[in-house]
Amino acid sequence: MMRSSAWMRIWSVARAVMSGVILAAIIAQLTKSISTAIELGRDVGTTFANFFSFFTILSNLSAAIVLLWAAVWYWTRGRRADAEPTALAVGLACVTTYMIITGVVYNTLLRNIELPQGSQPIPWSNEVLHLIAPLFLLADLFVGPLRRALPWRAVWAVVAFPMIWVVYTMIRGPLTTNPASGDPFWYPYPFLNPNGAGGWPSVIVYMIGIALAIVGVGALVVWWGRRVGRRMPEPEASVEAAGSSAVVP
């Protein structure tokens, strides 16, 4: 069924629709965050930068872009192809991994965390970004059409962006004043805050655990693609080049 023309059309439309829903959720939440910052007299520039420092936001934004890319590719060139381009395959592997991690981490560690006054998310947007979109990407892994099998080295492309994000987060954290509390530091997630009760040991344990989870999920995503996808030569781009263009910095 997944290789039938009807299913390819249906799922390509679903990808485009989900891309739009994710972008709408991001825009709605950003609009609320900025308007709340203005109302409460918080620094708008810092609020904006903090918003796009959340792994959740970057993962969802990347997912929206790649899903739209996949839909456009299908309707312009994919109907005559046997498998998706290597760059698109790497992009899908990346965002699928990030979104699965986003869903698992949020729903196991962050869902019941009390947020500062004025920082509460929009309920529907929050569910889209942390539950609905991750579940869609998980489904896309199994039922998405025209899959291409990637070499195992594609896992390095998958883990590159989270590594860069962690370094950025830990460098920026002590250089940023929290606009909500006035603390001389800001970290997007409490388990990455070395000023908390557990200190650096707790942060290091969480970082190692999440790093292992990303590598594990990324390897499983690539493995599944190798199991169900087509192994074909790709003259257009190498995996290494694709990896550098498949994520949002």
Q: pLDDT digit of tens for each residue in the chain (249 aa)?
A: 556 888 899 999 999 999 999 999 999 999 999 999 999 999 999 999 999 999 999 999 999 999 999 999 999 988 888 899 999 999 999 999 999 999 999 998 888 776 665 567 899 999 999 999 999 999 999 999 999 999 999 999 999 999 999 999 999 999 999 998 899 999 999 999 999 889 999 999 999 999 999 999 999 999 999 998 877 654 444 444 444 444 433
φ, ψ at 115 (rounded to 5°): -100, 155
Dihedral sign, Cα of residue 8, residue 13, residue 17, residue 23: positive
Say how far apart CA 92 and CA 79 lie, in whole Å: 18
The two structure tokens encoding residue 197: 């009760």
Give dist(CA 138, CA 132) in Å, integer: 10
Closest CA to 93 of 229, 210, 205: 229
Separation CA 189–CA 169 (nearest Å): 10
Rounded-to-integer distance, Cα 26 and Cα 57, Å: 7
Contact present, 104 and 213 (Cβ < 8 Å) = yes
- Verdict on whether the full-model pTM lies above 0.95: no
Look at residue 249 in the predicted model and tell me its pLDDT. 34
**148: phi then psi, degrees, rounded to nearest 5:** -110, 135
Of residues 100, 101, 98, 72, the one with CA closest to residue 85: 72
The per-residue DSSP string of 152-217 comes to TTHHHHHHHHHHHHHHHHHHHGGGS--TTT--S---SSGGG-TTSTTHHHHHHHHHHHHHHHHHHH
Q: How far apart are CA 91 and CA 120, in angstroms?
A: 31
Q: Residue 119: what pLDDT?
A: 64
Please give the pLDDT value at position 7.
Answer: 87
Cα(64)–Cα(173) distance, rounded to whole angstroms?
27
Residue 109 is predicted with a pLDDT of 85
- For residue 9, the model assigns a pLDDT of 93
Alpha helices by DSSP H, 41-153: 44-51, 55-76, 86-105, 123-127, 133-143
